[in-house]
């Protein structure tokens, strides 16, 4: 988890709770090419609005992230607070304020207290070190039980290029363009437009394929900073091989983080891959997979290891996916349980139940309408999901 030119630090600033890491800073020695994808929720937090505006220039040099407070629905005061935080960061780092990206996660609707930032930022700047990225990943956790990181090294024109990435997210996870917080750091030399395009594709194939509870956050943010210190042949439209290799690596680390988020979904005890094939269009396949993945009846059946395929087919039937009811097959991993819309009996069900007792498994729904398919990753709905969310603010 190190990338040349990047350093990081974290602190317990007391934003919501005392003694719990809640503030992280990431710094690039030189300005980096930067891109971001943000929540499509109509309600957007102040840091999302600020970052999006600043990223038009395609550059960033620092990311300040806090947990404990989302700075969302905080009006003009919230926007002023986000700006103050970024100004303080620019000051302690001695860089242009426009190069600071800010990200917040936590409770919606409470004013962001500025004192913790004022007190903690000078120390954070002093403590910056290349091996502290993981500490930032921990500082941005809310209901997450584990920190989430991923990394990759690829060769661009014979030059090794490094990616290190981190994410947080456990509840209010139902991506639509981007979700949760994710920061990808790279030493790649890359054109801003290329980076932007590759990030959107990566988000679409990773964060946009997961769901914990169908709730889209107001603060979803995925940022990528590439400072060029690898000195690789520039990745741009004239370097299609570089675009492909870097794009795949970016998608891979985002996908890795996305699956870590679902596996650490609030209260989750199981990671389930819902795959729908044989649909007429990709949009229909996606709707089918998403509807199954979000059905509380399906998710509680996963929790209870109940091979209750009737709930899956009922969810399929209320999705926007067209199909003939007598042309539906359903399998749990390799166990075919439903053929042509009907159950295959007690023996198949017993085998399917064994699959559902695993920590991770697939549900494959095969239609006979076309050649489109989609996959969505979800988790089960457990007692702990209710416990966490009935108690979260108290």
What are the residue numbers of the active site?
179
Options 246, 309, 332, 361; binder of a copy of itself; rule CB under 8 A: 309
Of 10-18, 91-99, 196-204, 302-310, the window that binds a copy of itself (rule: CB under 8 A) is 302-310
In the block, residue with structure tokens 């990200």: 103
The residues in 336-355 that bind a copy of itself, with binding defined as CB under 8 A, are 338, 340-343
Number of residues that bind a copy of itself (CB under 8 A): 64
Residues 6+ apart with CB under 8 A from 236: 190, 191, 193, 194, 242, 243
Q: Is residue 16 involved in binding a copy of itself (CB under 8 A)?
A: no
Left, alpha or beta for 197 (phi > 0: left; psi -120 to 50: alpha)? alpha
Among 12, 29, 314, 336, the residue binding a copy of itself under the rule CB under 8 A is: 314
Is 160 one of the binding residues for a copy of itself (CB under 8 A)?
no
Chain centroid to Cα 90, Å, comes to 27
HSE-CB at 125 with a 13 A cutoff on CA atoms is 14
User: d(Cα 389, Cα 268) in Å, to the nearest integer?
Assistant: 13
Q: Whole-number minimum distance, CB 313 to a copy of itself, in Å?
A: 5
Which residue's CB is nearer to a copy of itself, number 45 or number 225?
A: 45
CA–CA distances in Å: residue 212 to residues 4, 174, 252, 282, 320 = 34, 6, 20, 21, 20
Alpha helices (H) in the chain, listed in sequence order: 46-54, 75-93, 115-127, 133-139, 192-204, 240-263, 282-294, 296-303, 309-318, 346-356, 383-391
Residue 179 touching a copy of itself (CB under 8 A):
no
CB distance 325 to 316 below 8 Å = no
Interface pick for a copy of itself out of 295, 366, 372, 373 (rule CB under 8 A): 295
Q: Are strands 271-279 and 360-366 parallel, antiparallel or unpaired?
A: parallel
CA distance 363 to 312: 9
72, 125, 272, 365: which one binds a copy of itself (CB under 8 A): 72
In the list 323, 335, 348, 372, the residue contacting a copy of itself (rule: CB under 8 A) is 323
Q: Binders of a copy of itself among 221-280, rule CB under 8 A?
A: none
Cα separation, 392 vs 213, whole angstroms: 15
Which range in 50-58, 139-147, 171-179, 199-207 contacts a copy of itself by CB under 8 A? Answer: 171-179
Binding piece for a copy of itself, criterion CB under 8 A, among 38-46, 149-157, 232-240, 245-253: 38-46
Nearer to a copy of itself by Cβ, of 186 and 218: the residue is 218
354-393 residues in contact with a copy of itself (CB under 8 A) are: 381-383, 385-387, 389-393
Task: Check: CB of residue 47 under 8 Å from CB of residue 39.
Answer: no
Distances (CA, A) of 253 to 30, 184, 246: 23, 8, 11
State which of positions 88-117 bind a copy of itself (CB under 8 A).
107-110
CA distance 241 to 188: 14
Least distance between a copy of itself and beta carbon 195 (Å):
27
Nearer of residues 153 and 325 to a copy of itself, judged by Cβ: 325
Residues numbered 191 to 230 that lie near a copy of itself (CB under 8 A) are: 213-218
Is 46 a binding residue for a copy of itself by CB under 8 A? The answer is no
**Rounded CA gap, 158 and 119, in Å?**
45
Residues that bind a copy of itself (CB under 8 A): 40-44, 70, 72-75, 107-110, 171-172, 174, 176, 213-218, 294-297, 300-301, 303-304, 306, 308-311, 313-318, 322-323, 325-326, 338, 340-343, 381-383, 385-387, 389-394
């Amino acid at each position: 988890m190190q990338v040349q030119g990047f350093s990081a630090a974290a602190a317990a600033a007391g934003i919501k709770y005392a003694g719990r890491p809640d503030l992280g800073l990431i710094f690039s020695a030189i300005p980096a090419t930067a891109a971001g994808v943000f929540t499509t929720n109509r309600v957007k937090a102040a840091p999302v609005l600020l970052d999006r505006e600043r990223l038009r220039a395609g550059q960033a040099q620092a990311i300040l992230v806090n947990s404990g407070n989302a700075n969302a629905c905080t009006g003009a005061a919230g926007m002023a607070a986000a700006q103050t935080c970024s100004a303080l960061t620019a000051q302690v780092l001695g860089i242009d304020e426009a190069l600071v990206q800010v990200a917040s996660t936590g409770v919606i609707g409470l004013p962001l207290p500025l004192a913790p930032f004022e007190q903690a930022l000078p120390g954070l700047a002093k403590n910056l070190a290349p091996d502290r990225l993981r500490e930032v990943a921990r500082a941005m956790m809310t209901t997450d039980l584990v920190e989430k990181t991923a990394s990759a090294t690829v060769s661009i024109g014979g030059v090794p290029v490094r990616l290190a990435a981190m994410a947080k997210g456990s509840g209010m996870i139902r991506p639509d363009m981007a979700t949760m917080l994710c920061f990808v750091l790279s030493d790649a030399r890359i054109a801003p437009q290329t980076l932007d395009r590759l990030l959107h594709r990566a988000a679409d194939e990773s964060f946009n394929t997961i769901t914990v509870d169908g709730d889209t956050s107001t603060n979803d943010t995925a940022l990528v900073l590439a400072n060029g210190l690898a000195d690789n042949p520039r990745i741009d439209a004239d370097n299609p091989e570089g675009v492909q290799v870097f794009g795949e690596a970016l998608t891979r680390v985002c996908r890795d983080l996305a699956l870590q988020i679902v596996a650490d979904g609030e209260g989750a005890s199981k990671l389930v891959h819902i795959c729908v094939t044989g649909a007429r269009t990709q949009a229909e396949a996606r709707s089918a997979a998403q509807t199954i993945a979000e059905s509380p009846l399906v998710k509680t059946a996963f929790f209870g290891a109940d091979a209750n395929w009737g709930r899956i087919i009922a969810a399929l039937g209320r999705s926007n996916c067209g199909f003939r009811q007598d042309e539906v097959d359903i399998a749990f991993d390799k166990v075919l349980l439903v053929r042509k819309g009907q159950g295959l009996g007690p023996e198949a069900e017993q085998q399917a139940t064994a699959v559902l007792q695993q920590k991770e498994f697939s549900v494959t729904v095969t239609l006979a309408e076309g050649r489109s398919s989609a996959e969505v990753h979800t988790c089960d709905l457990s007692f702990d999901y209710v416990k966490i969310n009935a108690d979260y603010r108290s």
